[in-house]
Amino acid sequence: MVFLSLSSRMVVNVEALNMVESVGNISRHRRATIILQTKDGFEKTEVPAISGETIAHAYQESLVKVANATYAGKPPVCKWCARGELFKEMDERHMIDEVKNLKEEGEKYVHEFEKTVVKNCLVEDIGGFLKAEAPPVRRTSRFQVSYMVPAIDAVIYSNLEAQFHARHAPSEPTKAEEARAAQMIYYVETGSAVYSLMFNLDIDGIGCTSLVERAPAVDEDERKRRIRVALGALLNLLSSSDYGAKRTRFLPFIEVKSLLLAISHPLPFTPIPPASKQYIKDTIGKMVNFTHAYEKLKLNETVKLYAFSKEVPIEKAPNVELVSSVEEAFNKVMDYVNEQLKL
């Protein structure tokens, strides 16, 4: 197994990336409750948040963009995923044609259904799907993503504020009784915070079935193309900050303050969550103990870390490569994955 895991801290100012409801003329930002440790124990507090579903949807749309470039405009993507409508085989109306007439039964049907969908839709291969009708078939997503919530050491600086706006139509009648038709007052809640984010990608599982048995659903060349698309889509997501709602009028100011990318095999390794500035240092310590523990079990576990931070200095350590940006980190990761998988 080749497994990629990412932790990052980023300052995001004046964003409306995840709106959840309207209360009167106020569009409210998503909130989440987190637990903080205090001198006297623990307390809960409500903070601005961006859901994992928001990030996941954006990543899957990024998959389509990168696949279009990789496959010269003809990617193996179903028509719904291609336009960002992620129905994902939920019912017969939204199934790809290739699975509608499968004759197999029982586990063989489930296996053939998964294999056929994976072969025909790159997005459902990497992002998973769920056929809710009988018999149900589920493919677990090859990637996992956290909510974006304020880092624990910076919660005090997070903020939500309603911004006043007015729409005005000068050509509409302006008599007192008709004035409301010509203008409207509304508020949009914006958030600012030092957000933390985690993302995992099971590279080894791309292009293979997993529900009944592990078996290739595409040939090796196609599998390697899909791995390149998966990595390119994650770079596009982070480098272009191409995710979230209300970007046409609330394009946020985003600065990545630190990032840690881990590549591991044959077992998955995940960095420490980026709750504090010391998470990179703590992850290096975790990596050393993690690999030494498996050495005692006679298992050759390999972990490579690529890290940068604008917040605290990072000490050099074995299997840790220091980089200066998100883009350089992905350059290094892609070199390593190319070497391991001969992409």
The residue behind tokens 């050491």 is 153
What's the whole-number mean pLDDT along residues 174-199? 80
pLDDT at 184: 80
Q: Is the pLDDT of residue 210 over 80?
A: yes
Average pLDDT rounded to a whole number, residues 70-82: 96
Q: Is there a contact between 52 and 147 (Cβ–Cβ < 8 Å)?
A: yes
Q: What is the pLDDT of residue 178?
A: 57
Q: What is the mean pLDDT of the chain?
A: 93
- What is the b/e burial string over 289-328, where b = at least 16 CB atoms within 10 angstroms of the residue's CB? ebbeebeeeeeebbbbbbbbbeeeebeeeeebbbbeebee
CB-CB contact of 84 with 59 (8 Å) = no
Section 257-269 average pLDDT? 97
DSSP state of 208: B
pLDDT at 54: 96
Mean of pLDDT values over 277-288: 97
How is 309-328 classified by DSSP, letter by letter? ESSS-----TTEEE-SSHHH
Whether 47 has a pLDDT exceeding 70, the answer reads yes
Quick: pLDDT tens for 18-31: 999 888 888 999 99
Q: Which residues have C-beta within 8 Å of that of residue 156, sequence separation ≥ 6?
A: none
Q: How far is CA 306 from CA 125, 141, 207, 317, 330, in A?
A: 27, 24, 26, 11, 9
What sign has the CA pseudo-torsion 298, 317, 280, 37?
Answer: positive
Residue 340: pLDDT band (50, 70, 90) is: confident
pLDDT in tens, 161-179: 999 988 776 665 556 555 5
Q: Residue 46: its pLDDT value, please?
A: 96
- What confidence score (pLDDT) does residue 334 get? 93
Q: What is the pTM of this model?
A: 0.93
What was the pLDDT predicted at 25? 87
Tens-digit pLDDT profile for residues 108-159: 999 999 999 999 999 999 999 999 999 999 999 999 999 999 999 999 999 9
Q: Is a pLDDT exceeding 70 seen at residue 247?
A: yes
